[in-house]
């Protein structure tokens, strides 16, 4: 019988700072937040997560390599480029857009989206008079298969609580000022129901291909906290 190395409470607590210094963990995504601030050891949730990974690894309950594969999948296989393709297609193909708004799951069957969850998808389109914003007031439900991992601010309780009360004020803080006559609709996501915003097609993009258009679509525009600016070719230089 393999001798299991028992980890005492003291050992566990001692492990945290050691891990914080980057000695044991290779699971990149988990440590990302801590690594953003050079020289600053992680604290709070990142430290707890790293400590837990360390303990579970030592107990051979998880394999860090398998964990890395999961994280790599979410870092490279999923992302807002999928949503951007959908938005661009909706801009160039009115029939697809109509189907997308009617039944997104069916309309997206041919898009080969990464299989993340089985939530029902709903697409909502912005127009000159209607602006849509997404939130999950309960936690962080997000259309992963279309937009990848949610940004930190999307999971933040300040965003989640304030955007339903004062959506104009919140999007203003993102740099988006909505005219008074624009109706703002806030969509509350759930585990079973996820949304994507189809932003308005930017001016100056007439004649562009779906592939070219997809490159202009930002993640934040598909969450509804950004409006795409008119396209100016010289700005690309
Ligand atoms: Fe949620």
Active site residue 136: yes
Q: Helix, strand or coil for residue 224?
A: coil
Q: How far apart are CA 197 and CA 184, in angstroms?
A: 12
Domain positions in the chain: 9-76, 78-223
Ligand 1 centroid – CA 153 distance (Å)? 13
Residue ranges near ligand 1 (ion) with Cβ within 5 Å: 136, 138-139, 141
pTM score, whole prediction: 0.74
Q: How far is the CA of 192 from the centre of ligand 1 (A)?
A: 9
Class of domain 78-223: alpha beta
Rounded to the nearest angstrom, the distance between the alpha carbon of 91 and the centre of ligand 1 is 29
The span from the CA of 50 to the CA of 30, in Å, is: 7
- Find the 224 Cα to ligand 1 centroid distance in Å: 17
Question: pLDDT for 48-87, tens place per residue?
Answer: 888 998 999 999 998 988 888 888 887 788 899 999 999 9
- Whether 10 has a pLDDT exceeding 70, the answer reads no
- Which member of 23, 43, 127, 139 is catalytic? 139
Q: Is 141 a catalytic residue?
A: yes
H/E segment holding residue 196: strand 193-198
> 11-18 — which CB contacts under 8 Å span 24+ positions?
12/51, 12/55, 15/51, 15/54, 15/55, 16/47, 16/50, 16/51, 16/54, 17/41, 18/54
Summarize the confidence of residues 145-173 as an average pLDDT: 95
CB of 152 closer than 8 Å to CB of 160: no
Q: How many residues are recorded in the chain? A: 237
Element housing 118 (H / E): none
């Amino acid at each position: 019988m393999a001798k299991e190395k028992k980890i005492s409470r003291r050992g566990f607590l001692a492990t945290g700072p050691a891990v914080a210094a980057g000695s044991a963990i290779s699971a990149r995504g988990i440590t990302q937040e801590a690594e953003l601030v050079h020289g600053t050891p992680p604290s709070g949730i990142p430290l707890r997560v790293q400590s837990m990974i360390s303990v579970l690894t030592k107990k051979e309950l998880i394999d860090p390599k398998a964990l890395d594969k999961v994280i790599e999948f979410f870092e490279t296989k999923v992302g807002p480029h999928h949503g951007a393709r959908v938005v661009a297609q909706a801009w160039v193909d009115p029939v697809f857009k109509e189907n997308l708004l009617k039944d997104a799951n069916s309309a997206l069957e041919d898009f080969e989206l990464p299989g993340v969850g089985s939530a029902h998808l709903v697409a909502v389109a912005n127009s000159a008079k209607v602006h849509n914003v997404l939130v999950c007031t309960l936690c962080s439900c997000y259309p992963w298969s279309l937009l990848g991992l949610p940004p930190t601010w999307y999971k933040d309780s300040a965003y989640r609580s304030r955007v339903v009360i004062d959506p104009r004020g919140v999007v203003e803080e993102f740099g988006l000022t909505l005219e008074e006559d624009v109706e703002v609709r806030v969509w509350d996501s759930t585990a079973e129901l996820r949304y994507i915003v189809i932003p308005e097609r930017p001016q100056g993009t007439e004649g562009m291909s779906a592939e070219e258009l997809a490159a202009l679509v930002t993640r934040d525009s598909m969450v509804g906290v950004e409006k795409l600016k008119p396209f100016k070719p010289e700005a690309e230089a």
